């Protein structure tokens, strides 16, 4: 019996790795749910582990099995994550995200100084002239 995984695009906060994929081991399949380990193993785009010593903590989550099998991906409850059934589809989604946002999540959010400056400018604009 081979080990099955769910995959999701992610960004490693460890400097040399950058954009990568997390794979979550499937621990059980029921008629309605696919249960997987919450902590995923980071792998590169060729499928090789980046952190071989990472040990999952045993906590699990689940996704709807019917949605996963129909669409090829599913979102866990109360989460914006997309978990893909196939490595290839996850890799394609990750590369699409890189093309639109840049490497290492560039464009995800402006820097803190820019946010503070914009907020201060808006506050000054709303202030009545005295």
Total domain count, the chain: 1
Q: What is the pLDDT of residue 119?
A: 67
pTM of the model: 0.70
Whole-angstrom Cα distance, residue 121 to residue 126? Answer: 9
Mean pLDDT of 31-36: 95
Average pLDDT, the chain: 79
Smallest CA-to-CA distance from 8 within 108, 80, 109, 105 is with 80
Place of tokens 């995984």: 5
List the domain range (segments joined by +) for residue 80. 5-126
Give residue-wise pLDDT tens across range 54-109.
Answer: 666 788 999 999 999 999 999 998 888 899 999 999 988 888 877 776 554 444 45
């Amino acid at each position: 019996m081979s080990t099955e995984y769910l995959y999701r695009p992610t960004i490693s906060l460890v400097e040399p790795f950058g954009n990568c994929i997390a794979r979550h081991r499937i621990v059980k399949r029921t008629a309605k749910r696919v249960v997987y380990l919450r902590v995923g193993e980071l792998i590169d785009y060729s499928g090789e582990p980046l952190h071989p010593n990472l040990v999952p903590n045993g906590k699990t989550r689940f996704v709807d099995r019917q949605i996963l099998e129909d669409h090829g991906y599913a979102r866990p409850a109360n989460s914006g994550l997309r978990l893909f059934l196939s490595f290839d589809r996850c890799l394609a989604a990750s590369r699409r995200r890189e093309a639109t946002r840049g490497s290492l999540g560039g464009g995800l959010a402006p820097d803190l100084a820019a946010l503070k400056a914009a907020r201060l400018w808006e506050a000054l604009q709303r202030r009545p002239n005295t």
